[in-house]
Amino acid sequence: MYDTHVLTDYDCRSIWEHGNKVGYAVNLTINYYRGLPLCCVDEITLEIDGEIVDPATIYVQHRGKEFQYLDILKDDFPTDFYWVFGEYLRVVVKKEGGIEQGQHKVKLTLGTRRSYTPTMVAICEKVLTFA
């Protein structure tokens, strides 16, 4: 239902530190109308120009905090970080050299789970322009 909306073109860009590109970021919206705790995110898979991004290099930024993606998949991840409908979840890929400025084909798979229902999976492919 929300598949085409979960991957946004808002603020796609390289991440710079001390004059060097150290990664890049995209912003997601949730695939569920109520919102969910971040611990209910079961999958974030990114594919950029046909290349799958290593999950160990993915970080999520939410309300001023940053978490390594693999940490939110752990059973002991706190339940008090809530991602509400309409709010962006910034997904940062830490990769030396970042991403080339311009258009890139991006494919996102976002899996979230809700009480009493199976995991909801949204798949979205878009051409995004990175600054």
Amino acid at 56: A
Amino acid at 30: I
Measured CA to CA, the distance from residue 86 to residue 5 in angstroms comes to: 10
Do 103 and 127 touch, CB atoms closer than 8 A?
A: yes
What is the value of pTM for the model shown? 0.91
pLDDT at residue 63 in the model: 93
Instruction: List the domains of the chain with CATH numbers.
Output: 3-130 (2.60.40)
Instruction: Give the tens place of pLDDT for each residue, 71-121.
Output: 999 999 999 899 999 899 999 999 999 999 999 999 999 999 887 777 889
The token pair that represents 44 in the structure block: 């974030």
pLDDT band for 27, please (50, 70, 90 cuts).
very high
Residue 1 has pLDDT above 70, yes or no: no
State the CB neighbour count (10 A cutoff) for residue 22.
16
Instruction: Give the tens place of pLDDT for each residue, 47-82.
Output: 999 999 999 999 999 999 999 999 999 999 999 899
Three-state DSSP class for residue 109 = strand
Tokens 């239902």 -> residue: 1
Measured CA to CA, the distance from residue 55 to residue 99 in angstroms comes to: 16
Instruction: Report which DSSP code applies to 7.
Output: B
Q: How far is CA 109 from CA 7, 17, 22, 31, 85, in A?
A: 9, 28, 23, 10, 17
pLDDT at residue 2 in the model: 62
